[in-house]
A and B are shown apart, each in its own frame.
Chain A
Amino acid sequence: MSDHVDGPRSIGDPPADITDLFAFTSPKDPARTVLAMCVFPSAGESAVFSNVIDYAMAVRRVSVTGIGNAAKFQPADEEFRFTFRFDVLDRDAAGNVIQRGVCILSDGRELPVTVNDEKGESTPEGAFRVFAGLRSDPFYLAWIPATLEKVPNLLQHDNVLCMVVEFDTRGVLDSEKGSLFGVIAETLPTEPPGRIGHPVARIDWIGRPEQTNVRLNNPALFGVDDIRDLWNQQTPFAISKELQPLFLQRLKDSFADWDIRDGKADWTPEALAANANVFLDDFLLFDIAKPITDQSHLEIEKSTIDGRPYQTGGGRTVDANSIDILLTWLVNHDREFLLGGATGATKPGTKTFPYFATPNTEIQTVAGSVELAAAPDDVWSVIGQFNLQWHPSVARARLIGEGLGQLRRLETRDGREIVERLAEIDNTKRSYRYTLVSGVPASHYAGVINVRPKGNGSVAEWRVDFLANNQPDIAVRTSVSRLVETGLGSLKTRFGVPHDDARRA
């Protein structure tokens, strides 16, 4: 995944884990540039930022100092830095948790920010505008990287914490001195390293997407050391000279493997080495004088390595298909576009500030179980029938079709009609799974009914997962809970409960 969970540290703090970095021209105002970094893979609805981390994006002007097999991008020393810092939690008048922070701008001013305030905050003259909060994860990965098998988006419905800085391009970056820039994002402990302070200067950083999980830690390279933590502790724009050979060799090995994943070698050894050299200098390139589009990601690097002047502003937009662009380049040198199993993230980016889509609501779960004084097979012979006619709330049931895919059309005693489809059934494991077709205001609705042995009796379990559709979660949840509880409750009457339970009752 782009930079999600990109190290083996098993007990790190998730808001320190950078997932992505973006640099693009504002879709609303071409005179403004947007930089954004995201953290906290698979963040839940209540996620907040750490109060002891500096979340920074640093931009440096870059020169092209070589092309073709000598391709090289040289960053300057001058840096434009944007740093977000957050406070401990506070509560508003209604008792809701709120988090405030500041963004320290490249000119040294501090702009206050309230987490999840969609309007963000602007400087008085409007040169800068910032946002911080939970958004739908803009990244999508629809491959199993080790085998290049296409799958649906592995990050579907995920959220991340985003920080966005939008600024007047000319006023801040001054294209007179050069229009090509490199940007990185990093998370740093607010304490400096030292005997008493934090033992490392940096927790995570990112330049181009997938430096760690795809390029350095190519999952198809067996028996090699995981060097992602070592990479994450490098200083951006200044990788340790001592360690450069190690990282460079790993990139060469990795790229050689990627090149033959489709059974064809599309890279000469020299071009492959040039590619590794360019990616070793890991910063996301963007040119403010050229168009940045959903397709322009990595075009600056690719054209330069191929020995021709670049045509676009590179960068990375919210909707850029960065993983497929990268894999296409590595696997077949842009001979044929490799499209994974998804064509977009859960939600596309927006045309207006803060450009990242609203967060996804969490999948709701209703689950119940009941212990019964009957053998698992006896219970399964009743509730394993897909028609649900054992359920007291079902007035009439009709099955349409047979086997997997068959539908059940249920008329409930309160007059509703629900249609559900059989998705999986395993009689040996006494389990079936079904999905909703219509009748409940929900999407991604899936239920599982199963029976397992327990002692001399059995346990019947029923679980339903769903996303409420245009209804409050609680309304749908109440309705589904009633269905599950009534059904499981009726089984107690039918099969009885184990002796201990009966005695307690």
Chain B
Amino acid sequence: MTTLAEPDLPRATDGDIAAINLQSARRSAWARFAQDPRLPGVVEAVVDQERLAAQFLGNLDALDRLDTLASQFSRVDDSFRPSLVHAEVASTAHRFHDARDHVARAVLMGAPREAIERHTLTIDQACGVALDAVLAARRRIATASDRLEDLMPLGSVLADLEHFAEADAVYRQAFYSYDDVSPFPLAWVCFQLGMLWGELVPLPDPDLAALWYRRAIAYLPGYVKARVHLAEVCASQDQTGEAEALLRPALPSRDPEVRWRLADVLIAQDRFEEAEMELHAARSGFEELLEGHLLAFADHAAEFYAGSGNDCRRALELARANVANRPTRRAINKAQSIASKADTRSRPPGPTPSAADCFLAPEVAISGEKR
């Protein structure tokens, strides 16, 4: 495991301290919200902290809490603020159509232009809409502020547009220019660089990806997503022992992807009985999450069902839902791959419709017959 003894890495507050302080601040913000939901900045603080808890600590219950928060807040505040909170919460749960509706409502209620622009950019970027315009806006904002929180989405849209070298440069700029000591932003940059080199570039560099994932975990040992992605890299290099060691500490997070990847590792080790239990837990976990937040988890659950989850029909349903929600290049590629796999598994020999036809035309069942 990489430690932060590496001399060229910015130092940050110990990850365990930061995690405790995040939970502490999160609970305190909720207490302030309970005391008076209209206190200036309180609802926004709860949203920020719940999002951090979900993103970095794998605390997926945050999505339920955010829904409760938005609904409670809209009952006590008649300004544009509840619409913006609803938009943020909907975006967090990948309900982008809802988010757009809430942003439109916020516009009518007189929300500040900057806030509207920020939300709209986030939604457009997540949905892969008008990416050239998004890129121009992201460049303008990042150039003006030079702050990590503005550089990160710029790096992300550059990666979406396959400008990988520039995305790498922007992420590194964010990393080395960060002027505070929270490990969350630094771990976030490391994770994005891991994703860039491990999953997004045409020829992935698993060693470089692993290096960045290790750094993310060194900053934040409880970073569930980084553990999962690094475990995948390790498993792909037959380092199943290390992969298991990475995943076990993340089990309490309730993220079913941990169970899924652990099952894959156990299968690779011929520990089929344990793997079956983990797969069962992953399946239940995904279904429970999908029931409450379909669009937030459709993407990963589709991958699960297309792989070890072994349910192509469910995978295709979820992939379609994901593409309908956010037709990004990546989502479409994934869905094509799933449709193609489903097609291969279920079709009798004969002419094959294109994979894209399968997922883009919902009236066509995966077997090619009308529903």
* Residues of chain A whose beta carbon lies under 8 Å from any beta carbon of chain B: 5, 9-16, 40, 42-53, 88-89, 97, 99, 144, 152, 154, 156-159, 189-191, 196-200, 203, 233, 362-363, 365, 367, 426, 429, 431, 444, 446, 448, 450, 452, 461, 463, 465
Contacts and interface: CB of A to CB of B under 8 A. Distances in A.
B270 interface: no
A52 to B, nearest CB: 5
Most buried by B among A42, A45, A89, A431: A42
Contact of A44 (B25, B48, B179, B180): B25
Contact of A452 (B18, B71, B177, B178): B71
A461 B10 CA distance: 46
Given A44-B26, A203-B179, 11 more contacts: A13-B13, A42-B25, A43-B21, A52-B11, A53-B181, A152-B36, A154-B39, A157-B31, A199-B178, A461-B68, A465-B34
A152 B32 CA distance: 13
A287 B28 CA distance: 37
B120 interface: no
A448 B72 contact: yes
A84 to B, nearest CB: 14
B24 A11 contact: no
A13 B181 CA distance: 6
A94 B35 CA distance: 34
Given A11-B184, A198-B10, A446 B34 contact: yes
B20 A89 contact: yes
Nearest to B38: A151
30 contacts: A9-B179, A11-B149, A11-B184, A13-B18, A15-B13, A40-B25, A42-B28, A43-B28, A44-B31, A45-B24, A46-B24, A47-B24, A47-B25, A48-B17, A48-B21, A52-B11, A88-B14, A88-B16, A88-B17, A157-B35, A159-B28, A190-B11, A191-B10, A199-B178, A365-B34, A448-B72, A450-B75, A461-B68, A465-B34, A465-B35
Interface in B1-46: 7-8, 10-14, 16-18, 20-21, 23-32, 34-36, 39-41, 45
A43 B27 CA distance: 9
A40 B75 contact: no
B17 A89 contact: yes
B29 to A, nearest CB: 7
Nearest to A193: B179
Contacts of B181: 12-13, 16, 50, 52-53, 189, 198, 203
B8 A196 contact: yes
A156 to B, nearest CB: 7
B185 interface: yes
B40 A154 contact: yes
A42 B41 CA distance: 12
Given A9-B147, A44-B28, A426 B184 contact: no
A431 B10 contact: no
A199 B179 contact: yes
Contacts of B8: 196
B228 interface: no
Given A11-B149, A158-B32, A196 B68 contact: no
B148 interface: yes
B272 interface: no
Nearest to A17: B180
A18 B277 CA distance: 49
B182 A12 contact: yes
Given A157-B35, A367-B68, A452-B71, A14 B147 contact: no
A199 B176 contact: yes
B329 to A, nearest CB: 28
Given A48-B20, A444-B35, A203 B13 contact: no
Using C-beta atoms within 8 Å of the partner chain, give the interface range for chain B.
35 or more
A77 B14 CA distance: 35
A14 B71 contact: no
Interface in B176-201: 176-182, 184-185
A384 B361 CA distance: 46
A497 to B, nearest CB: 14
Contacts of B21: 13-15, 40, 43, 46-48
B29 A42 contact: yes
B24 A44 contact: yes
Nearest to B22: A14
A43 B147 CA distance: 25
Nearest to B71: A452
A191 B11 contact: yes
B110 to A, nearest CB: 15
Contacts of A89: 14, 16-17, 20
Contacts of B182: 11-13
B149 A10 contact: yes
A42 B44 CA distance: 14
B63 to A, nearest CB: 15
Interface in B281-325: none
Nearest to A448: B72
B177 to A, nearest CB: 6
Contact of B75 (A16, A154, A197, A431): A431
Most buried by B among A10, A152, A200: A10
Contacts of A154: 39-40
B74 to A, nearest CB: 9
Given A154-B39, A154-B40, A9 B180 contact: yes
Contacts of A448: 72
A51 B24 contact: no
Contacts of B185: 11
Nearest 3 interchain pairs by C-beta: A44-B24, A13-B182, A465-B34
B64 to A, nearest CB: 10
A321 B45 CA distance: 26
A50 B22 CA distance: 12
Most buried by B among A12, A158, A463: A12
A50 B28 contact: no
Contacts of A43: 21, 24-25, 28
B11 A189 contact: yes
Contact of A50 (B13, B24, B31, B40): B13
B195 to A, nearest CB: 19
Nearest to B4: A52
A51 B180 contact: no
B11 A198 contact: yes
